[in-house]
Amino acid sequence: MVKQVQELLEKTKKPLSLENILANISSNKPIDKKTLENILIICKNFDKNPLGEYGLVRWATIRPVSTRDKGYYFMKYNVKKPIHFRQLCSLLSNYNFPNKRKINVQTVHNELIRDPRFVLIGHGIYALQE
C-alpha cells in the first residue's frame, strides 16, 4: 500500500487529498479512509500540508527548508495575495517552522528575485507566478 501511494505521488508530483489517493490506488482488500490516513501518518515518507493534502516529505510544499521554500509555502497557503518582501519576512519570522532560524530581510528579497515561482509586480511587492 505504501509503495502504491509513493508511486502515485511521484507520478502526480503534487500533494493529494485522501479521497484522491484512495480513488487512485488498488488493493486486494477494501480499505477505508481512516485506515489509509493511519498508514500515511505512520509512514515516515509522507506528511500533510495545512490544507490536509498528503505528499512526500522532501517536497517544499510539505516540509519547507530554505527561505525560498518557506516564502512559497507561506504565500501559497497563508497569505494568498501579493505582499511586500519586508512584510513577508516579518510573517516568516513569527511563523513556527520546524527549523527556526533568524530570517534576514535581504535574504528574503534575494530569494524572491531568484526564484521563478515569484513575480515582482511593484516596488518590492511579489506575487506567486501561478
pLDDT of residue 103: 87
Q: How far apart are CA 105 and CA 25, in angstroms?
A: 44
Q: How far apart are CA 22 and CA 24, in angstroms?
A: 6
Pair 44, 80 in one domain:
no
Residue 20 lies in a domain: yes
The length of the chain in residues reads 130
Look at 32-36, 74-78, 97-101, 112-116 and tell me which has the smallest mean pLDDT: 97-101
Last residue of a domain, one of 35, 56, 77: 56
Residue 62 lies in a domain: no
Pair 13, 42 in one domain:
yes
Q: How far apart are CA 122 and CA 125, in angstroms?
A: 5
pLDDT of residue 9: 93
Q: Over 70: is that where the pLDDT of 101 sits? A: yes
pLDDT of residue 113: 94
pLDDT tens profile 21-34? 988 887 777 788 89
Average pLDDT of span 69-88:
90
Residue 38 lies in a domain: yes
Query: How many Å separate Cα 121 from the centre of its chain?
Result: 23
Question: DSSP assignment, residue 16?
Answer: B
| Radius of gyration over every alpha carbon of the chain, rounded to an integer in angstroms | 17
pLDDT of residue 85: 95
Q: How far apart are CA 24 and CA 26, in angstroms?
A: 7
35, three cell numbers? 485506515
Tally of domains within the chain: 2
Last residue of a domain, one of 13, 30, 56: 56
Domain that holds residue 78: 67-128
Pair 98, 46 in one domain:
no
pLDDT of residue 98: 67
